Chain A
Amino acid sequence: MPKMLKEVIKNLLSPPATVNYPFVKPTPVPGTRGALNWDMSRCDQCQDCERVCPSVAIKVYPEEKKIEYQPFKCLFCYLCIENCMQQAISGSDIVAEPAYTKIVKVFKTET
Protein backbone atom coordinates (compact mmCIF):
# COMPACT_ATOMS: atom_id res chain seq x y z
CA MET A 1 0.00 0.00 0.00
CA PRO A 2 2.73 2.62 0.74
CA LYS A 3 4.02 2.20 -2.82
CA MET A 4 0.60 3.30 -4.03
CA LEU A 5 0.52 6.44 -1.87
CA LYS A 6 2.18 8.69 -4.45
CA GLU A 7 -0.45 7.80 -7.05
CA VAL A 8 -3.27 8.20 -4.53
CA ILE A 9 -2.15 11.75 -3.66
CA LYS A 10 -1.82 12.57 -7.38
CA ASN A 11 -5.40 11.37 -7.94
CA LEU A 12 -6.65 13.41 -5.03
CA LEU A 13 -5.40 16.60 -6.66
CA SER A 14 -6.47 15.79 -10.23
CA PRO A 15 -10.00 16.12 -11.68
CA PRO A 16 -12.20 12.97 -11.77
CA ALA A 17 -11.65 10.50 -14.60
CA THR A 18 -15.38 9.78 -14.96
CA VAL A 19 -18.26 11.97 -16.16
CA ASN A 20 -21.50 12.54 -14.30
CA TYR A 21 -23.42 10.54 -16.90
CA PRO A 22 -27.11 11.41 -17.09
CA PHE A 23 -26.33 15.12 -16.69
CA VAL A 24 -23.08 15.29 -18.66
CA LYS A 25 -23.02 13.20 -21.82
CA PRO A 26 -19.60 12.14 -23.12
CA THR A 27 -18.81 13.40 -26.61
CA PRO A 28 -18.63 10.44 -29.00
CA VAL A 29 -15.29 9.76 -30.64
CA PRO A 30 -15.40 10.54 -34.39
CA GLY A 31 -16.08 7.37 -36.33
CA THR A 32 -18.13 5.66 -33.61
CA ARG A 33 -20.28 2.94 -35.12
CA GLY A 34 -23.89 3.57 -34.07
CA ALA A 35 -27.45 2.95 -35.20
CA LEU A 36 -28.26 2.77 -38.91
CA ASN A 37 -30.55 4.86 -41.07
CA TRP A 38 -31.90 4.21 -44.57
CA ASP A 39 -32.45 6.93 -47.11
CA MET A 40 -35.38 5.35 -48.94
CA SER A 41 -35.24 7.81 -51.83
CA ARG A 42 -31.88 6.24 -52.76
CA CYS A 43 -32.61 2.61 -51.89
CA ASP A 44 -33.36 0.35 -54.86
CA GLN A 45 -34.26 -2.77 -52.78
CA CYS A 46 -31.34 -4.78 -54.18
CA GLN A 47 -31.12 -6.75 -50.89
CA ASP A 48 -27.32 -6.50 -50.69
CA CYS A 49 -27.54 -5.32 -47.08
CA GLU A 50 -29.72 -8.29 -46.17
CA ARG A 51 -27.29 -10.72 -47.80
CA VAL A 52 -24.16 -9.46 -46.05
CA CYS A 53 -25.65 -8.86 -42.58
CA PRO A 54 -23.92 -11.37 -40.23
CA SER A 55 -26.69 -11.29 -37.63
CA VAL A 56 -29.72 -11.26 -39.99
CA ALA A 57 -30.90 -7.95 -38.54
CA ILE A 58 -32.08 -6.57 -41.90
CA LYS A 59 -35.02 -7.77 -43.95
CA VAL A 60 -35.89 -6.23 -47.29
CA TYR A 61 -39.36 -6.55 -48.86
CA PRO A 62 -38.80 -5.45 -52.48
CA GLU A 63 -42.44 -5.70 -53.49
CA GLU A 64 -43.64 -3.50 -50.67
CA LYS A 65 -40.50 -1.28 -50.92
CA LYS A 66 -40.00 -1.75 -47.21
CA ILE A 67 -37.00 -2.46 -44.96
CA GLU A 68 -37.21 -3.91 -41.48
CA TYR A 69 -34.18 -3.26 -39.28
CA GLN A 70 -33.75 -4.73 -35.78
CA PRO A 71 -31.27 -2.58 -33.81
CA PHE A 72 -31.16 -5.13 -30.97
CA LYS A 73 -29.89 -7.82 -33.34
CA CYS A 74 -27.47 -5.50 -35.12
CA LEU A 75 -23.72 -5.89 -34.45
CA PHE A 76 -22.92 -2.43 -35.85
CA CYS A 77 -20.24 -3.96 -38.07
CA TYR A 78 -21.19 -1.57 -40.89
CA LEU A 79 -20.80 -4.23 -43.59
CA CYS A 80 -24.13 -3.09 -45.04
CA ILE A 81 -22.87 0.48 -45.37
CA GLU A 82 -19.72 -0.73 -47.14
CA ASN A 83 -21.71 -2.95 -49.50
CA CYS A 84 -24.56 -0.56 -50.36
CA MET A 85 -24.00 0.47 -53.97
CA GLN A 86 -26.60 3.26 -53.78
CA GLN A 87 -25.05 4.71 -50.59
CA ALA A 88 -28.50 4.69 -49.06
CA ILE A 89 -27.41 3.58 -45.58
CA SER A 90 -25.78 5.92 -43.11
CA GLY A 91 -24.55 5.47 -39.55
CA SER A 92 -24.91 7.68 -36.49
CA ASP A 93 -23.16 8.33 -33.18
CA ILE A 94 -25.93 6.84 -31.05
CA VAL A 95 -24.70 3.37 -30.15
CA ALA A 96 -27.84 1.88 -28.65
CA GLU A 97 -31.07 3.71 -28.14
CA PRO A 98 -32.73 2.31 -25.04
CA ALA A 99 -36.18 0.73 -25.44
CA TYR A 100 -38.65 -1.27 -23.38
CA THR A 101 -39.11 -3.95 -26.04
CA LYS A 102 -36.98 -5.33 -28.85
CA ILE A 103 -38.12 -2.83 -31.42
CA VAL A 104 -38.17 -3.23 -35.20
CA LYS A 105 -37.51 -0.09 -37.20
CA VAL A 106 -39.41 0.08 -40.48
CA PHE A 107 -38.23 2.21 -43.40
CA LYS A 108 -40.73 2.52 -46.23
CA THR A 109 -40.71 4.35 -49.54
CA GLU A 110 -43.48 6.94 -49.55
CA THR A 111 -45.61 6.70 -52.65
Chain B
Amino acid sequence: MKLIDVGDVIGMSENVNTNKKYSVLPFGPQHPVLPEPIHLKFIVDEEKIIDVLPNLGYVHRGIERGCELNDYKRNIWLTERICGICNYIHGATYCAAIEKITDTEVPVRAKYLRTIWGELGRLQSHLLWLGLFADAIGFESLFMQIWRDREIVLTLNEKTNGHRIHLATNMIGGARKDIDDSLENEYKKDLNLLRKKMDALKPVFYKDSAIKQKCEGKGILSKNKARFLGATGPTIRGSGLKEDARLTGYEAYGQLDFKPVVYEGEDSYSRMLVRFDEVLQSIDLIEKAFDQMPEGPILNKNDKFPMGHTVIRTEQPRGEVFYYVEGNGTNKLTRCKIRTPTASNIPALINMLIGYEVSDIPTIVHSIDPCISCTERIVYVRRNE
Protein backbone atom coordinates (compact mmCIF):
# COMPACT_ATOMS: atom_id res chain seq x y z
CA MET B 1 0.00 0.00 0.00
CA LYS B 2 1.15 3.51 -0.71
CA LEU B 3 -0.33 6.89 0.00
CA ILE B 4 -1.33 9.07 -2.94
CA ASP B 5 -2.80 12.47 -3.37
CA VAL B 6 -6.32 11.80 -4.66
CA GLY B 7 -6.56 15.24 -6.22
CA ASP B 8 -4.27 13.94 -9.01
CA VAL B 9 -6.84 11.55 -10.39
CA ILE B 10 -10.45 11.78 -11.46
CA GLY B 11 -12.95 9.95 -9.31
CA MET B 12 -16.65 9.23 -9.61
CA SER B 13 -17.36 9.55 -5.93
CA GLU B 14 -18.40 12.70 -4.14
CA ASN B 15 -16.98 11.31 -0.88
CA VAL B 16 -13.40 12.02 -1.90
CA ASN B 17 -11.86 14.76 0.16
CA THR B 18 -9.12 16.13 -2.07
CA ASN B 19 -7.20 17.57 0.87
CA LYS B 20 -6.89 14.22 2.61
CA LYS B 21 -4.42 11.43 1.81
CA TYR B 22 -5.84 7.95 1.31
CA SER B 23 -4.39 4.46 0.94
CA VAL B 24 -4.43 2.74 -2.43
CA LEU B 25 -5.21 -0.97 -2.51
CA PRO B 26 -4.29 -2.63 -5.81
CA PHE B 27 -6.65 -5.42 -6.94
CA GLY B 28 -5.48 -7.48 -9.90
CA PRO B 29 -4.48 -7.80 -12.71
CA GLN B 30 -3.64 -11.23 -11.31
CA HIS B 31 -6.00 -12.14 -8.50
CA PRO B 32 -7.57 -15.45 -7.46
CA VAL B 33 -11.07 -13.97 -7.68
CA LEU B 34 -10.63 -12.70 -11.22
CA PRO B 35 -10.84 -15.08 -14.13
CA GLU B 36 -9.32 -12.43 -16.40
CA PRO B 37 -6.90 -9.54 -15.90
CA ILE B 38 -8.33 -6.19 -14.85
CA HIS B 39 -6.55 -3.81 -12.52
CA LEU B 40 -8.71 -1.91 -10.05
CA LYS B 41 -7.11 0.63 -7.75
CA PHE B 42 -9.20 0.95 -4.62
CA ILE B 43 -8.82 4.19 -2.75
CA VAL B 44 -9.69 3.18 0.77
CA ASP B 45 -10.25 4.94 4.04
CA GLU B 46 -9.36 2.15 6.48
CA GLU B 47 -11.75 -0.64 5.31
CA LYS B 48 -14.19 1.56 3.43
CA ILE B 49 -13.89 2.01 -0.34
CA ILE B 50 -13.88 5.70 -1.23
CA ASP B 51 -13.19 5.47 -4.96
CA VAL B 52 -12.19 3.00 -7.62
CA LEU B 53 -9.93 3.57 -10.61
CA PRO B 54 -10.15 0.93 -13.31
CA ASN B 55 -7.13 0.16 -15.46
CA LEU B 56 -7.73 -1.96 -18.53
CA GLY B 57 -5.63 -3.00 -21.48
CA TYR B 58 -3.81 -6.12 -20.32
CA VAL B 59 -5.33 -8.39 -22.96
CA HIS B 60 -5.88 -6.04 -25.86
CA ARG B 61 -5.76 -8.06 -29.07
CA GLY B 62 -6.67 -5.59 -31.80
CA ILE B 63 -9.63 -7.59 -33.06
CA GLU B 64 -11.40 -4.58 -34.63
CA ARG B 65 -8.32 -3.83 -36.73
CA GLY B 66 -8.07 -7.53 -37.54
CA CYS B 67 -11.65 -7.40 -38.84
CA GLU B 68 -10.61 -4.66 -41.27
CA LEU B 69 -7.59 -6.58 -42.56
CA ASN B 70 -9.36 -9.90 -42.94
CA ASP B 71 -11.61 -11.17 -45.68
CA TYR B 72 -15.16 -10.39 -44.42
CA LYS B 73 -16.09 -14.09 -44.48
CA ARG B 74 -13.14 -15.06 -42.28
CA ASN B 75 -14.29 -12.50 -39.71
CA ILE B 76 -17.01 -14.90 -38.56
CA TRP B 77 -14.33 -17.01 -36.91
CA LEU B 78 -12.43 -13.97 -35.67
CA THR B 79 -15.49 -12.43 -34.00
CA GLU B 80 -16.26 -15.78 -32.39
CA ARG B 81 -12.91 -15.46 -30.66
CA ILE B 82 -13.70 -12.13 -29.01
CA CYS B 83 -15.16 -14.06 -26.11
CA GLY B 84 -14.81 -17.75 -25.38
CA ILE B 85 -18.07 -18.02 -23.49
CA CYS B 86 -20.38 -15.96 -25.69
CA ASN B 87 -18.63 -16.99 -28.90
CA TYR B 88 -21.76 -18.19 -30.68
CA ILE B 89 -23.72 -14.97 -30.21
CA HIS B 90 -20.76 -12.84 -31.36
CA GLY B 91 -20.53 -14.84 -34.59
CA ALA B 92 -24.30 -14.81 -35.11
CA THR B 93 -24.44 -11.04 -34.56
CA TYR B 94 -21.67 -10.43 -37.07
CA CYS B 95 -23.44 -12.67 -39.61
CA ALA B 96 -26.73 -10.84 -38.97
CA ALA B 97 -24.97 -7.52 -39.63
CA ILE B 98 -23.53 -8.71 -42.96
CA GLU B 99 -26.93 -10.20 -43.88
CA LYS B 100 -28.58 -6.86 -43.18
CA ILE B 101 -26.12 -5.00 -45.43
CA THR B 102 -26.29 -7.50 -48.29
CA ASP B 103 -30.10 -7.99 -48.02
CA THR B 104 -29.80 -11.72 -47.45
CA GLU B 105 -32.96 -13.50 -46.38
CA VAL B 106 -32.19 -16.01 -43.61
CA PRO B 107 -34.30 -19.21 -43.72
CA VAL B 108 -36.76 -19.50 -40.82
CA ARG B 109 -35.28 -22.79 -39.64
CA ALA B 110 -31.83 -21.19 -39.44
CA LYS B 111 -33.28 -18.40 -37.30
CA TYR B 112 -34.65 -20.97 -34.86
CA LEU B 113 -31.34 -22.85 -34.85
CA ARG B 114 -29.52 -19.61 -34.01
CA THR B 115 -31.95 -19.00 -31.17
CA ILE B 116 -31.43 -22.52 -29.80
CA TRP B 117 -27.64 -22.32 -29.91
CA GLY B 118 -27.68 -18.77 -28.56
CA GLU B 119 -29.74 -19.93 -25.59
CA LEU B 120 -27.44 -22.93 -25.10
CA GLY B 121 -24.56 -20.44 -24.95
CA ARG B 122 -26.48 -18.43 -22.36
CA LEU B 123 -27.13 -21.61 -20.36
CA GLN B 124 -23.48 -22.62 -20.20
CA SER B 125 -22.38 -19.05 -19.49
CA HIS B 126 -24.82 -18.58 -16.61
CA LEU B 127 -23.96 -22.00 -15.17
CA LEU B 128 -20.27 -21.15 -15.38
CA TRP B 129 -20.95 -17.85 -13.65
CA LEU B 130 -23.13 -19.36 -10.91
CA GLY B 131 -20.28 -21.78 -10.18
CA LEU B 132 -17.65 -19.04 -10.16
CA PHE B 133 -19.84 -16.89 -7.95
CA ALA B 134 -20.31 -19.75 -5.49
CA ASP B 135 -16.52 -20.18 -5.52
CA ALA B 136 -15.96 -16.44 -4.97
CA ILE B 137 -18.15 -16.44 -1.86
CA GLY B 138 -16.46 -19.61 -0.61
CA PHE B 139 -19.20 -22.17 -1.34
CA GLU B 140 -17.01 -24.90 -2.87
CA SER B 141 -19.53 -27.76 -2.95
CA LEU B 142 -22.08 -25.68 -4.85
CA PHE B 143 -19.39 -24.63 -7.33
CA MET B 144 -18.53 -28.24 -8.13
CA GLN B 145 -22.19 -29.27 -8.28
CA ILE B 146 -23.02 -26.57 -10.84
CA TRP B 147 -19.98 -27.19 -12.99
CA ARG B 148 -20.84 -30.87 -13.08
CA ASP B 149 -24.35 -30.02 -14.29
CA ARG B 150 -22.85 -27.68 -16.89
CA GLU B 151 -21.26 -30.70 -18.54
CA ILE B 152 -24.72 -31.67 -19.81
CA VAL B 153 -24.85 -28.52 -21.93
CA LEU B 154 -21.27 -28.89 -23.11
CA THR B 155 -21.85 -32.50 -24.18
CA LEU B 156 -24.94 -31.36 -26.12
CA ASN B 157 -22.76 -28.79 -27.90
CA GLU B 158 -20.23 -31.47 -28.72
CA LYS B 159 -22.86 -33.86 -30.04
CA THR B 160 -24.25 -31.20 -32.39
CA ASN B 161 -21.16 -29.40 -33.54
CA GLY B 162 -18.13 -31.41 -32.56
CA HIS B 163 -16.73 -28.95 -30.02
CA ARG B 164 -17.68 -28.21 -26.44
CA ILE B 165 -17.40 -24.42 -26.52
CA HIS B 166 -16.66 -23.15 -30.03
CA LEU B 167 -19.63 -24.25 -32.10
CA ALA B 168 -18.38 -22.80 -35.41
CA THR B 169 -21.82 -23.22 -36.98
CA ASN B 170 -22.30 -19.61 -38.02
CA MET B 171 -22.47 -18.80 -41.69
CA ILE B 172 -23.58 -15.68 -43.52
CA GLY B 173 -27.09 -16.53 -44.69
CA GLY B 174 -27.96 -19.23 -42.16
CA ALA B 175 -26.35 -22.08 -40.30
CA ARG B 176 -23.80 -24.73 -41.21
CA LYS B 177 -25.36 -27.62 -39.34
CA ASP B 178 -28.84 -28.91 -38.67
CA ILE B 179 -30.42 -30.68 -35.72
CA ASP B 180 -32.09 -33.91 -36.81
CA ASP B 181 -34.92 -35.74 -35.00
CA SER B 182 -32.76 -38.12 -32.97
CA LEU B 183 -30.58 -35.22 -31.79
CA GLU B 184 -33.68 -33.19 -31.00
CA ASN B 185 -34.88 -35.97 -28.70
CA GLU B 186 -31.49 -36.02 -27.00
CA TYR B 187 -31.70 -32.25 -26.52
CA LYS B 188 -35.13 -32.56 -24.92
CA LYS B 189 -34.05 -35.44 -22.69
CA ASP B 190 -30.83 -33.78 -21.52
CA LEU B 191 -32.47 -30.40 -20.93
CA ASN B 192 -35.16 -32.09 -18.85
CA LEU B 193 -32.40 -33.67 -16.78
CA LEU B 194 -30.73 -30.27 -16.38
CA ARG B 195 -34.02 -28.72 -15.29
CA LYS B 196 -34.44 -31.39 -12.63
CA LYS B 197 -30.91 -30.74 -11.35
CA MET B 198 -31.50 -26.99 -11.29
CA ASP B 199 -34.82 -27.45 -9.48
CA ALA B 200 -32.94 -29.43 -6.82
CA LEU B 201 -30.52 -26.50 -6.39
CA LYS B 202 -33.28 -23.87 -6.33
CA PRO B 203 -33.68 -23.83 -2.52
CA VAL B 204 -29.92 -23.35 -2.15
CA PHE B 205 -29.99 -20.12 -4.17
CA TYR B 206 -33.29 -18.86 -2.81
CA LYS B 207 -33.04 -19.74 0.86
CA ASP B 208 -29.45 -20.50 1.87
CA SER B 209 -28.44 -18.17 4.68
CA ALA B 210 -24.71 -18.24 3.78
CA ILE B 211 -25.40 -16.90 0.27
CA LYS B 212 -27.93 -14.37 1.55
CA GLN B 213 -25.54 -12.97 4.15
CA LYS B 214 -22.79 -12.59 1.56
CA CYS B 215 -24.90 -10.97 -1.18
CA GLU B 216 -28.01 -9.27 0.18
CA GLY B 217 -27.66 -5.51 0.27
CA LYS B 218 -24.18 -5.63 -1.27
CA GLY B 219 -23.40 -3.56 -4.35
CA ILE B 220 -26.60 -1.56 -4.53
CA LEU B 221 -27.27 -0.07 -7.96
CA SER B 222 -30.43 2.00 -7.97
CA LYS B 223 -32.79 2.13 -10.98
CA ASN B 224 -31.84 5.67 -11.91
CA LYS B 225 -28.11 5.02 -11.56
CA ALA B 226 -28.38 1.83 -13.63
CA ARG B 227 -30.01 3.73 -16.46
CA PHE B 228 -27.72 6.74 -16.15
CA LEU B 229 -24.53 4.64 -16.16
CA GLY B 230 -25.72 2.51 -19.08
CA ALA B 231 -25.72 -0.87 -17.38
CA THR B 232 -26.97 -3.80 -19.46
CA GLY B 233 -28.05 -7.40 -19.11
CA PRO B 234 -28.66 -9.06 -15.74
CA THR B 235 -27.00 -6.05 -14.06
CA ILE B 236 -29.81 -3.70 -15.13
CA ARG B 237 -32.52 -6.37 -14.82
CA GLY B 238 -31.41 -6.97 -11.23
CA SER B 239 -32.15 -3.28 -10.61
CA GLY B 240 -35.78 -3.69 -11.66
CA LEU B 241 -35.59 -2.38 -15.23
CA LYS B 242 -37.10 -4.35 -18.07
CA GLU B 243 -34.20 -3.98 -20.51
CA ASP B 244 -33.40 -6.82 -22.87
CA ALA B 245 -32.36 -6.76 -26.53
CA ARG B 246 -34.33 -9.97 -27.04
CA LEU B 247 -37.51 -7.90 -26.67
CA THR B 248 -36.79 -6.48 -30.14
CA GLY B 249 -37.72 -9.93 -31.46
CA TYR B 250 -34.59 -10.65 -33.51
CA GLU B 251 -33.98 -14.21 -34.76
CA ALA B 252 -36.95 -16.24 -33.45
CA TYR B 253 -37.47 -14.42 -30.13
CA GLY B 254 -40.48 -12.59 -31.57
CA GLN B 255 -42.38 -15.86 -31.89
CA LEU B 256 -41.36 -17.34 -28.53
CA ASP B 257 -43.40 -15.06 -26.28
CA PHE B 258 -40.31 -13.92 -24.47
CA LYS B 259 -40.56 -12.01 -21.20
CA PRO B 260 -37.37 -10.86 -19.44
CA VAL B 261 -36.58 -11.90 -15.87
CA VAL B 262 -36.61 -8.83 -13.63
CA TYR B 263 -35.82 -8.54 -9.92
CA GLU B 264 -36.37 -5.40 -7.88
CA GLY B 265 -33.68 -5.96 -5.24
CA GLU B 266 -31.00 -3.73 -6.84
CA ASP B 267 -28.22 -5.71 -5.09
CA SER B 268 -25.81 -8.58 -5.88
CA TYR B 269 -28.36 -11.10 -4.67
CA SER B 270 -31.02 -10.06 -7.19
CA ARG B 271 -28.45 -10.08 -9.99
CA MET B 272 -27.65 -13.66 -9.03
CA LEU B 273 -31.34 -14.61 -8.96
CA VAL B 274 -31.84 -13.05 -12.41
CA ARG B 275 -29.12 -15.33 -13.77
CA PHE B 276 -30.48 -18.39 -12.00
CA ASP B 277 -33.99 -17.77 -13.33
CA GLU B 278 -32.59 -17.15 -16.81
CA VAL B 279 -31.11 -20.66 -16.73
CA LEU B 280 -34.60 -22.10 -16.28
CA GLN B 281 -36.02 -19.62 -18.81
CA SER B 282 -33.41 -20.60 -21.42
CA ILE B 283 -34.40 -24.26 -21.07
CA ASP B 284 -38.04 -23.29 -21.65
CA LEU B 285 -37.13 -21.12 -24.65
CA ILE B 286 -35.13 -23.94 -26.27
CA GLU B 287 -38.02 -26.37 -25.80
CA LYS B 288 -40.48 -23.85 -27.21
CA ALA B 289 -38.17 -23.23 -30.18
CA PHE B 290 -37.99 -26.97 -30.90
CA ASP B 291 -41.79 -27.21 -30.85
CA GLN B 292 -42.21 -24.31 -33.28
CA MET B 293 -39.20 -24.94 -35.55
CA PRO B 294 -40.38 -25.55 -39.14
CA GLU B 295 -38.74 -27.90 -41.64
CA GLY B 296 -36.86 -26.37 -44.52
CA PRO B 297 -33.50 -25.16 -45.79
CA ILE B 298 -30.93 -23.81 -43.35
CA LEU B 299 -28.62 -21.84 -45.61
CA ASN B 300 -29.27 -19.14 -48.19
CA LYS B 301 -25.90 -18.40 -49.75
CA ASN B 302 -25.23 -14.87 -50.92
CA ASP B 303 -21.74 -13.97 -52.05
CA LYS B 304 -22.45 -10.27 -52.55
CA PHE B 305 -19.75 -8.06 -50.99
CA PRO B 306 -21.02 -5.76 -48.22
CA MET B 307 -21.69 -2.21 -49.40
CA GLY B 308 -23.04 0.25 -46.86
CA HIS B 309 -23.24 0.28 -43.11
CA THR B 310 -25.48 -1.02 -40.37
CA VAL B 311 -25.95 -1.20 -36.63
CA ILE B 312 -27.11 -4.32 -34.87
CA ARG B 313 -27.62 -5.27 -31.25
CA THR B 314 -28.31 -8.60 -29.64
CA GLU B 315 -28.51 -9.95 -26.11
CA GLN B 316 -25.57 -11.88 -24.76
CA PRO B 317 -25.42 -13.68 -21.40
CA ARG B 318 -23.75 -10.59 -19.91
CA GLY B 319 -25.91 -8.00 -21.60
CA GLU B 320 -26.30 -6.20 -24.85
CA VAL B 321 -23.68 -6.43 -27.59
CA PHE B 322 -23.52 -3.76 -30.26
CA TYR B 323 -21.98 -4.07 -33.73
CA TYR B 324 -21.39 -1.35 -36.27
CA VAL B 325 -20.26 -2.81 -39.58
CA GLU B 326 -19.30 -0.78 -42.62
CA GLY B 327 -18.29 -2.14 -46.02
CA ASN B 328 -17.27 -0.43 -49.28
CA GLY B 329 -18.17 -3.12 -51.77
CA THR B 330 -14.85 -4.98 -51.59
CA ASN B 331 -14.09 -8.18 -49.73
CA LYS B 332 -12.74 -6.21 -46.77
CA LEU B 333 -14.68 -4.12 -44.28
CA THR B 334 -13.79 -0.51 -43.65
CA ARG B 335 -14.98 -0.54 -40.04
CA CYS B 336 -16.19 -3.08 -37.53
CA LYS B 337 -16.96 -1.48 -34.20
CA ILE B 338 -17.90 -3.82 -31.39
CA ARG B 339 -19.14 -2.85 -27.93
CA THR B 340 -19.41 -5.71 -25.49
CA PRO B 341 -21.67 -5.75 -22.41
CA THR B 342 -18.87 -5.58 -19.82
CA ALA B 343 -17.70 -2.28 -21.33
CA SER B 344 -21.10 -0.78 -20.46
CA ASN B 345 -21.17 -2.44 -17.05
CA ILE B 346 -17.79 -1.19 -15.77
CA PRO B 347 -19.02 2.35 -14.84
CA ALA B 348 -21.90 0.70 -12.97
CA LEU B 349 -19.47 -1.64 -11.21
CA ILE B 350 -17.35 1.28 -10.02
CA ASN B 351 -20.43 2.99 -8.68
CA MET B 352 -21.56 -0.20 -6.93
CA LEU B 353 -18.26 -0.66 -5.12
CA ILE B 354 -18.09 2.79 -3.54
CA GLY B 355 -19.09 2.81 0.11
CA TYR B 356 -18.64 -0.92 0.74
CA GLU B 357 -15.91 -2.72 2.62
CA VAL B 358 -12.84 -4.45 1.19
CA SER B 359 -14.26 -7.88 2.08
CA ASP B 360 -17.26 -7.24 -0.23
CA ILE B 361 -15.08 -6.69 -3.31
CA PRO B 362 -15.19 -10.31 -4.66
CA THR B 363 -18.98 -10.51 -4.41
CA ILE B 364 -19.60 -7.16 -6.06
CA VAL B 365 -16.97 -7.53 -8.80
CA HIS B 366 -18.37 -10.95 -9.66
CA SER B 367 -21.97 -9.76 -9.64
CA ILE B 368 -21.62 -8.03 -13.05
CA ASP B 369 -20.05 -11.17 -14.56
CA PRO B 370 -16.93 -9.37 -15.82
CA CYS B 371 -15.58 -10.62 -19.13
CA ILE B 372 -12.47 -8.53 -19.53
CA SER B 373 -10.96 -9.97 -22.69
CA CYS B 374 -14.07 -9.00 -24.65
CA THR B 375 -13.93 -5.49 -23.28
CA GLU B 376 -10.35 -4.63 -24.20
CA ARG B 377 -11.27 -2.03 -26.70
CA ILE B 378 -12.00 0.98 -24.54
CA VAL B 379 -9.75 3.59 -23.03
CA TYR B 380 -10.37 5.53 -19.85
CA VAL B 381 -8.88 8.99 -20.15
CA ARG B 382 -7.80 10.86 -17.06
CA ARG B 383 -8.96 14.45 -17.04
CA ASN B 384 -5.77 16.22 -16.07
CA GLU B 385 -3.20 14.33 -18.11
In the complex, what distance in Å separates the CA atom of A25 from the CA atom of B213? 42
B78-103 interface bits toward A, Cβ cutoff 8 Å, 1 = contact, 0 = none: 10000000000000000000000000
A43 to chain B, nearest CB (A): 22
Residue in B77, B162, B204, B207 whose Cβ sees the most chain A Cβ within 10 Å:
B162
A31 touches B162 (CB 8 A): yes
- Residue pair B77, A17 in contact (C-beta under 8 Å): no
Interface residue from A11, A33, A55, A78 paired with B145 (Cβ < 8 Å) = A11
Interface size on A, residues (CB 8 A): 21
- Contact partners of A62 in chain B: CB under 8 A: none
Establish whether residues B158 and A29, one from each chain, have CB atoms under 8 Å apart when the complex forms.
Answer: yes
Which A residues are CB-close (under 8 A) to B77? 54-55, 75, 77
Check if A4 is an interface residue, CB within 8 A of chain B. Answer: yes
Q: Please pick, from B155, B163, B204, the residue contacting A76 in the complex, using a CB distance under 8 A.
A: B163
Rounded to whole Å, the gap between the CB of A40 and the closest CB of chain B is 24
Counting CB contacts under 8 A, is A110 at the interface? no
**Total inter-chain residue pairs, C-beta < 8 Å:** 56
8 Å CB contact of A54 from B76, B176, B208 = B76
Confirm or deny: A103 has a beta carbon within 8 angstroms of a beta carbon on chain B. no
> CB of B168 within 8 A of chain A?
yes
Judged by a CB distance under 8 angstroms, whether B142 is at the interface is yes
Interface of chain A residues 1 through 47 with chain B (CB within 8 A): 1-4, 6-8, 11, 17, 29-33
The interface bits of chain B over 159-178 (1 if a CB of A lies within 8 angstroms of the residue's CB, else 0) are: 11111001010000000100
Give A17 to B78 CA distance when docked, in angstroms: 34
Find chain A residues with CB under 8 A from B162 CB: 29, 31-33, 76, 78
B residues contacting A by CB (< 8 A) are: 74, 76-78, 139, 141-142, 145, 148, 151, 155, 158-163, 166, 168, 176, 200-201, 203-204, 207-208, 210
The 5 closest A-B pairs by CB, nearest first: A33-B162, A54-B77, A54-B74, A77-B168, A3-B204
* Interface residue ranges, A against B (CB under 8 Å): 1-4, 6-8, 11, 17, 29-33, 54-55, 75-78, 82
What are 23 sample pairs from A and B whose C-beta atoms fall under 8 A apart?
Answer: A1-B208, A1-B210, A3-B203, A4-B204, A4-B208, A6-B200, A7-B204, A8-B141, A17-B148, A29-B155, A29-B159, A30-B159, A31-B160, A32-B163, A33-B168, A54-B76, A55-B77, A75-B77, A75-B166, A75-B168, A76-B168, A77-B77, A82-B176
